[in-house]
Structure 1
Amino acid sequence: MTRDTSRTDGDNPRNRKPRAAEDRSGGFGEMVKTVVIAVFFALVIRSFAFEPFNIPSGSMKPTLLVGDYLFVSKYSYGYSRYSFPGSLPLFEGRILSSPVKRGDVAVFRLPTDPSVDYIKRIVGLPGDRIQVIDGILHINGTAVERRRIEDFVEMGPGGQEIRIPRYVETMPDGGPSYETLDQTPYGALDNTPVYTVPAAHYFAMGDNRDNSQDSRVLSAVGFVPEENLIGRAEVLFFSIDDSAAWWQVWKWPSAIRWSRLLDGVG
Structure 2
Amino acid sequence: MSVTETKVVKKTVVKAKKPVWREWLDAGVFAIVAATLIRTFIFEAYTIPTGSMEGSMLVNDYLFVSKLSYGPRIPMTPVALPLVHNSMPLTGGKSYTDAVKWGYRRLWGFGNVERNDVVVFNFPAGDTVMAQRPADDYYSALRDEFNGDREAIAGRYKIITHPVDKKENYIKRCVGMPGDKLEVRDGVLFINDAPGANYPHQKLWFSINGTTAGIADYLSDNEIEQVPPMACGGQGNVFFLENVQVAELRKIPGVNVAPFIYPKGFITELGVFPHDTANFKFNRDNFGPIVLPKAGVTVQLTPQNIALFRRVIRNYEVNTLEEKDGKIFINGKEATSYTFKMDYYWMMGDNRNNSLDSRYWGYVPADHVVGKAWFVWFSYHKEGMSHGIRWKRLFRSVHSLEK
The two structures share one fold, judged by TM-score above 0.5: yes
Return the match for 1:116 from 168, 190, 193: 168
Question: CA offsets per residue over residues 101-138 of structure 1, 9 Å max, x none?
Answer: 10100000011114211100001110001111011110
1:261 to 381, 394, 398: 394
Q: Which runs of 5+ in 2 are unaligned?
A: 1-15, 81-95, 127-163, 204-218, 227-237, 245-257, 264-282, 295-342
Query: Do the aligned partners of 1:242 and 1:255 also contact (CA within 8 Å) in 2?
Result: no
CA distance in 1, matches of 2:202, 2:120: 28
Alignment pair present for 1:60 and 2:53:
yes
Q: 1:83 to 1:108 in 2, by over 3 A?
A: farther
TM-superposed CA distance for 1:148, in Å, is 7.3
Identity of counterpart residues, as a percentage?
37
Does 2:203 match 1:203?
A: no
Check the 8 A contact 1:70/1:234 in 2, yes or no: yes
Query: Is the contact made by 1:127 and 1:197 (CA closer than 8 Å) also made in structure 2?
Result: yes
Aligned-pair CA distance for 1:64: 0.8
Q: Deviations over 1:149-188 (max 9, x none)?
A: 899932559xxxx9633237xxxxxxxxxxxxx9633385
| Alignment equivalent of 1:129, drawn from 181, 198, 214 | 181
Structure 2 residue 166 is the aligned partner of structure 1 residue 166: no
Q: In 2 relative to 1, CA 165–112 (structure 1 residues): closer, same or farther, beyond 3 Å?
A: same
2:292 maps to 1:189: no
Deviation string 1:174-218 (CA, Å, 9 cap, x unpaired) is: xxxxxxxx963338511111121111110110000001111111x
TM-score, L = length of structure 2: 0.49
Counterpart AA for 1:41: A
Partner-residue secondary structure (3-state), 2:356 = coil
Partner Cα distance (1:210, 1:183) in 2: 11
Cα contact 2:119–2:369 (8 A) shared by 1: yes
Report SS of the residue matched to 2:103: coil
SS in 2 for 1:216: helix
4+ runs of 1 displaced by more than 4 Å?
A: 81-88, 145-152
Q: Secondary structure at the match of 1:56?
A: coil
What residue number does 1:14 align with? none
Residues 93/195 of structure 1: CA separation in 2 closer, same or farther (3 Å cut): farther
Alignment length (residue pairs)? 218
Report the AA paired with residue 223 of structure 2.
E
- For the 8 Å contact 1:106–1:122, the answer to whether it is kept is yes
Q: Which residue in 2 is equivalent to 1:6?
A: none
Q: Tell me what 1:154 maps to.
A: 223
Q: Tell me how far apart the structure 1 counterparts of residues 172 and 202 of structure 2 sit (CA, whole Å).
A: 23
Q: Secondary structure at the match of 1:210?
A: helix
SS of the residue corresponding to residue 195 of structure 1 reads strand
- CA distance in structure 1 between the aligned counterparts of 2:172 and 2:348, rounded to whole angstroms: 6
1:93 is displaced (CA, Å) by 4.3
Task: Indicate yes or no: 2:207 matched with 1:214.
Answer: no
Aligned equivalent of 2:26, options 18, 21, 33? 33
- Equivalent-residue separation in structure 2 for 1:140 and 1:215 (angstroms): 17
With over 3 angstroms needed to count, the CA separation of the structure-2 counterparts of 1:183 and 1:212, relative to structure 1, is farther
Matches within 5 A, 1:6-155: 26-81=19-74, 86=80, 89-96=101-108, 98-113=111-126, 114=164, 115-144=167-196, 146=198, 153-154=222-223
SS at match of 1:75: coil
CA deviation after TM superposition for structure 1 residue 76, in Å: 1.2
CA, structure 1 residues 244+147, in 2 after alignment: closer, same or farther (shift >3 Å)? closer
Amino acid at match of 1:166: E
Q: When you count strand as a share of all residues, which structure comes out higher?
A: 1
TM (norm. structure 1) is 0.72
Task: Tell me, in whole angstroms, the C-alpha distance in 2 between the residues paired with 1:206 and 1:60.
Answer: 5
1:142 deviates by 1.4
Distance between the aligned counterparts of 1:165 and 1:102, measured in 2?
Answer: 24
